[in-house]
Structure formats: structure tokens, C-alpha cells
């Protein structure tokens, strides 16, 4: 189960996700997910509760909202990966990220609480991904009207986090 999974091919994900997946280095997504968690937790520990409400523009999400979005998106992508890895080919609808952020009320929670939830979600998902057989990683399903593989979903999770961490570093510091 610990073998290198390999990178997804172009036909394993929607074009919208290629940019995020390309942010992920290497071929060992399981190691990458673990390392990212350490990096992101270290970054978040350097942010004060007060600063976590910062928005670099009035219409932009706060740092807490970005973190809440990462939690929601990772849960959704991992749910898709679980279903598809188990052979469930039922199409899964998309989700509107702005509506999720608005209704999550992340600004009403502490950064510490959101950070703890992010850590738990990542660790749980990493355990799920580690349990998959080589065959399960290759299985596909339809999400948001596009075919996607389980391994692509793992890379999407990692790339999505890298994208938002880059935005946090460049626009929120």
C-alpha cells in the first residue's frame, strides 16, 4: 500500500484542475500530503487570532475563511475519492465554494479551532488514501460533470492547498 502511486494523466481530471495538480512536486502523493500538513500547520501557527480575520480586499475571504474553505474542499474531494475507490460510479454534483464559505461562518470560530479541524481532516484522509489498493487508485468516477480518478483527487487536494497557501503568503502576510 505504500508504493508510489504516480501522477495522474491528463485524462484523469478536468482541465480546471491541471494548474493545481501541476503545483504538486514529485510522484509520491502520500508523502506530499504529510509534508504539506507540517508546512501548513507551521505557517498557521505564525498567525495571530486577530490577524486571522484580515482580508486583503473587502470582497476577499479572511484567513479563517480560506482555512474553512480548505477544510470543506478537502472533505468533498476525499469523499469523492472514497466513493470512486469503492467502485461507486454514481455521478457526484459540484459545489459552489462561495456559498459554502459564506454559510460556514468560519470567522465566528477561532483560528486555533479551524487549524485543529484541518489537521484532523488531513490525517483522516491520509489514512484513507494509505489504505487503498493500487487498483483503487486508478478507479474513476464523475464529479461536477467530469471524469476524475482517485489519484487525481489526492493530487487535487494537495494542489488546492498549495495554491491557497501561496495566496496566503503573498496577499495576507
In a domain, 11, yes or no: no
| Mean pLDDT along residues 71-88 | 98
In a domain, 38, yes or no: yes
Partners of residue 142 on adjacent β-strands: 147
Q: What is the CATH number of the domain that holds 49?
A: 1.20.120.450
In a domain, 9, yes or no: no
In a domain, 63, yes or no: yes
**Cell numbers found for residue 5:** 502511486
Look at residue 14 and tell me whether its pLDDT is greater than 50: yes
pLDDT digit string (tens) for 1-10? 445 689 999 9
Number of folded domains that form the chain: 1
How many CB atoms neighbour CB 152 within 10 A?
Answer: 31
pLDDT at 58: 94
pLDDT digit string (tens) for 22-58? 999 999 999 999 999 999 999 999 999 999 999 999 9
| Mean pLDDT along residues 87-104 | 97
pLDDT at 1: 45
Phi, psi of 59 (to 5 degrees): -90, 0
Phi, psi of 28 (to 5 degrees): -105, 85
pLDDT at 3: 55
Mean pLDDT of the chain: 96
In a domain, 15, yes or no: no
What is the residue range of 91's domain?
27-171
What gap in Å lies between CA 53 and CA 56, rounded to an integer?
10
In a domain, 4, yes or no: no
What gap in Å lies between CA 169 and CA 171, rounded to an integer?
6
How many CB atoms neighbour CB 141 within 10 A?
Answer: 22
What gap in Å lies between CA 65 and CA 54, rounded to an integer?
10
In a domain, 73, yes or no: yes
Amino acid at each position: 500500500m505504500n508504493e508510489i502511486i504516480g501522477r495522474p494523466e491528463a485524462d484523469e481530471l478536468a482541465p480546471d484542475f491541471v494548474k493545481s495538480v501541476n503545483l504538486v512536486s514529485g510522484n509520491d502523493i502520500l508523502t506530499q500530503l504529510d509534508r504539506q500538513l507540517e508546512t501548513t500547520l507551521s505557517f498557521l501557527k505564525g498567525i495571530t487570532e486577530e490577524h486571522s480575520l484580515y482580508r486583503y480586499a473587502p470582497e476577499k475571504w479572511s484567513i479563517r475563511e480560506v482555512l474553512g474553505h480548505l477544510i470543506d474542499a478537502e472533505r468533498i474531494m476525499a469523499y469523492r475519492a472514497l466513493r470512486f475507490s469503492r467502485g461507486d460510479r454514481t455521478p457526484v454534483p459540484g459545489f459552489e465554494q462561495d456559498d459554502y464559505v459564506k454559510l460556514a461562518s468560519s470567522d465566528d470560530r477561532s483560528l486555533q479551532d479551524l487549524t485543529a479541524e484541518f489537521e484532523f481532516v488531513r490525517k483522516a484522509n491520509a489514512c484513507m488514501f494509505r489504505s487503498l489498493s493500487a487498483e483503487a487508485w486508478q478507479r474513476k468516477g464523475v464529479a461536477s460533470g467530469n471524469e476524475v480518478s482517485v489519484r487525481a483527487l489526492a493530487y487535487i487536494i494537495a494542489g488546492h492547498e498549495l495554491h491557497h497557501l501561496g495566496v496566503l503568503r503573498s496577499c495576507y502576510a
